[in-house]
Amino acid sequence: MPPTRRRPTDDQLLDAARVVFAASGYRRASMEAIAREANSTKPTLYAHFGSKEELFGRLFRREADIMEAALLPVYADLPGRPLREMLEVALGAAVRYGLAHPEGARVVAIAINGRGPEPTLGRALLERLIDAIAGVVEETLRREGRDPGPLGRMIAAMIWGAAIEATRVAHTMGVATPELVEWQIIYLLGGLEAALAHALDGGRPPLAD
């Protein structure tokens, strides 16, 4: 008598879905491929999640929770730091999260970039992460006697753009994390100096060494 196949848990199926979605994207991933990765069957997958859209949504929410648990405590500790140090800590945390959770980071990026089943799925997460950084940036600029205007959100969005690109480069080129973070900081600060110089009516920007 052949051995009975054990019924997989939701988390085991989500782990398999994470591998397939990360490798193929949402649209090209198939329920058949996910069932195969889980050593399970399509009927079992549908019994647990109902549809590919529901499966991706459940996976995204799980991975978003993991991301926020890793990043929000770091962002809560940013107030009071000099602006450059604050940027380095915030960006470094995002990059290290991506390097530690490459498949989960890819799933989150799919949703944030509007390439999942619902274009707005990742928007609320991105807004929370940007808000967490933007408030600290604005506070820091005010402490330095500057009017932040829209710069807080712009800087926070630039941090996330740089972090996503840094994570992608790290996985394609195998660049060491400290070196990668420093490269991205140099890139980010260059963009910030130009933005600040324009926004603050010229003069030497406050981030210049």
Condensed to tens digits (0 to 9), the pLDDT of residues 40-67 reads 999 999 999 999 999 999 999 999 999 9
Condensed to tens digits (0 to 9), the pLDDT of residues 169-201 reads 666 666 656 676 677 667 766 766 676 566 655
Query: How far from each other are the two terminal CA atoms of the chain, in whole angstroms?
Result: 74
pLDDT value of residue 14 = 98
Go through the chain and tell me how many residues it has. 209
> What predicted TM-score, i.e. pTM, was given to this entire model?
0.82
Which architecture characterizes domain 57-199 according to CATH?
Orthogonal Bundle (1.10)
pLDDT value of residue 19 = 97
Domain residue spans of the chain: 57-199
* Extended strands (E) in 16-118: none
Q: Check: CB of residue 207 under 8 Å from CB of residue 189.
A: yes
How far is it, in rounded angstroms, from Cα 100 to Cα 104? 9
Extract the residue ranges of the chain whose pLDDT is less than 70.
1-5, 166-167, 169-178, 180-181, 184-185, 188-189, 191-193, 195-209
Average pLDDT, the chain: 83
How far is it, in rounded angstroms, from Cα 65 to Cα 78? 20
Q: Report the amino acid identity of residue 76.
A: A
